[in-house]
Amino acid sequence: EDKVVQSPLSLVVHEGDTVTLNCSYEVTNFRSLLWYKQEKKAPTFLFMLTSSGIEKKSGRLSSILDKKELSSILNITATQTGDSAIYLCALSGGRDDKIIFGKGTRLHILP
């Protein structure tokens, strides 16, 4: 059965800290791994990863995929209170390339 496991489920840090969020997966026919940020409403897209070892960056956020270890990490450096959100990892693959999500990591940044 295809699945996505995120850790930790919850994290509280102080502003300025660096955090690493983890996502591991099991899937037949891997297509892509995606990261989303969810604040109050709908998730917003951060990164799509398809190739192993290639880092995607956007400002203070970066992500990398390790297909050998079946995992991905999302790094946030110099965290700000506006980074407080649920971070969701999603996987595309399996039959019909459907997209399934992990349970998310709830990140809270203290001022």
Going by the DSSP 8-state scheme, the letter that residue 61 receives in this structure is: E
CA-to-CA dists, residue 106 to 13, 21, 87, angstroms: 11, 10, 6
Work out which of 52, 97, 108, 110 binds another protein, going by CB under 8 A. 97
Could you say whether residue 65 binds another protein (CB under 8 A)? no
The residue among 80 and 98 lying less far from another protein, judged by its C-beta, is 98
Residues forming beta bridges with residue 74, ordered by sequence position: 21, 63
Could you say whether residue 100 binds another protein (CB under 8 A)? yes
Nearest residue to 57 (alpha-carbon basis) of 38, 80, 73 = 73
Work out which of 7, 45, 52, 55 binds another protein, going by CB under 8 A. 45
**Separation between Cα atoms, residue 8 and residue 42, nearest integer Å:** 21
Minimum gap (Å) between residue 82 Cβ and another protein: 20
**Separation between Cα atoms, residue 82 and residue 97, nearest integer Å:** 33
Work out which of 11, 15, 24, 32 binds another protein, going by CB under 8 A. 32
Binding site for another protein (CB under 8 A): 6, 9, 31-32, 34, 41-43, 45, 48, 50, 88, 90, 92-93, 95-104
